[in-house]
Copies of this chain bind each other. A is one copy, B any other.
Amino acid sequence: MNYLIEIGEKARTAATALNKMGQSDKNKALMKIAEILKENAAEILKENEIDIKAAEENNVKASLIDRLRLTKERITDMADGLIQIAGLKDPVGEVVSMETRPNGLQIGQKRVPLGVIGIIYESRPNVTVDAFGLCFKTGNAVILRGGSDAIYSNKMIVKYIREALAAVSVPEDAVQLLEDTSRETAREFMRLNQYVDVLIPRGGAGLIQTVVQNSTIPVIETGTGNCHVFVDESADFQMALNIIDNAKTQRMGVCNACESLVIHSKIAEDFIPLLAKRLFAKNVEIRSDEVGKSICSDFVSASEEDWGTEYLDAILSLKVVDSIQEAIAHINRYNTKHSETIVTKDYDNSLKFLNEIDAAAVYVNASTRFTDGFEFGFGAEIGISTQKLHARGPMGLLALTTTKYIIFGNGQIR
């Protein structure tokens, strides 16, 4: 435990210093880090090779090895990401409101860094640079706990970030990596309330649930997405097909991809054959209720479990409903509060869907794939929150800040 307390103390000290840094100094540091990462790409690749070899020896799946693998180009992309972050507006210091009370007290709310942020993530070493960059830009010290598979890569990346920080006289402890990647240390880390203000898990559903179940530190839950497209009876068929195709197939393995369709029964007979044609051409398997199957015999039977499954694969569940009310009830029951869309031409139904669906992002006539910090215009994204506290939906720099009340008086007492 002493190991973690030492890291916690160092992070707190760094956070105090970062809180006093202005935008230009922070941006200068980000540019310096980008430069040093590019200069030392070969060294980072050498360490990454060790991680890759170990993964191969452990017969890790090819797709996971691909996530773990760095290339010169990927390192350049990571570094360029920092340059982009440097170019964004820093939300810290903004006074979002200021009011004078009847007794003359001037009460304002000012944006400030969260303090110390813990990031728990899996094997992608690019998260190391990316998460650090966003936390640093907003004046937060960060403690990174990456996966053991990427430890050699992460150690080398963090070493160069710290070198670059030192070179521009910024406390190196603005970033620290937990080199002890044991589960026990991770669990202790999740209870380090005295030093860590917020914990953000980034990874699959298993990782996120482990953090939610074990952390006593406030967590921002980033999300799995069981996203639905509801095709209302008044939908434009061509628009519906385009949106479904895009939401399902443009990128399968992401949280804002569509996993389930809900079709109004009044159009089911006309629409479903067109849908089958469009998706079968892209080798998507459709798991349907009985009504759907009676229209297209090539559909597979859906089980209860299918309604709640995030496939992240070329599979889609399909349910036929008799009303928008039934569609909303079905979606609210099985969704993961991520992104939901209705395709409709009906005014009342569009508003009803927007009002009654419980999700971070609710769409009318657009693909769920837009739920993304860049698409929303934030210029960056630390994750997509599916919880309701603090931040909901794509989280940009703002989500990495809090506010404090600043109060100007001249002797007021109660």
Which residue from B216, B361, B375, B393 sits with its C-beta under 8 Å from A213? B216
**A362-B105 contact, Cβ under 8 Å, with A332-B16, A411-B242, A413-B367:** no
Is A412 within 8 A of B366, CB to CB? yes
Instruction: Report which A residues bind B (CB closer than 8 A).
Output: 16, 19-20, 99, 101, 105, 107, 114-115, 193, 197-198, 212-213, 216, 218-221, 236, 239, 242-243, 245-247, 250, 332, 354-356, 358-367, 369-371, 375-377, 387-390, 392-393, 402-414
* Residues from chain B with Cβ under 8 Å of A355 in the complex: 19-20
A114 to B358, CA, bound (A): 10
Is B410 within 8 A of A365, CB to CB? yes
* Residues from chain B with Cβ under 8 Å of A239 in the complex: 411
A19 to B352, CA, bound (A): 12
Is B246 within 8 A of A375, CB to CB? no
Is A406 within 8 A of B354, CB to CB? yes
A197 to B387, CA, bound (A): 8
What is the count of identical protomers in the complex? 2
Say whether chain A's binding surface is mostly helix, strand, loop, or mixed.
mixed
Which residue from B114, B332, B369, B412 sits with its C-beta under 8 Å from A367? B412
Further 15 A-B residue pairs, CB within 8 A, beyond A370-B407, A392-B405: A105-B366, A115-B358, A197-B388, A213-B216, A364-B409, A365-B410, A365-B411, A366-B412, A367-B413, A367-B414, A369-B413, A370-B414, A371-B405, A389-B389, A389-B390
* Residues from chain B with Cβ under 8 Å of A392 in the complex: 402-405
* Residues from chain B with Cβ under 8 Å of A393 in the complex: 403-405
* Residues from chain B with Cβ under 8 Å of A358 in the complex: 19, 115, 404
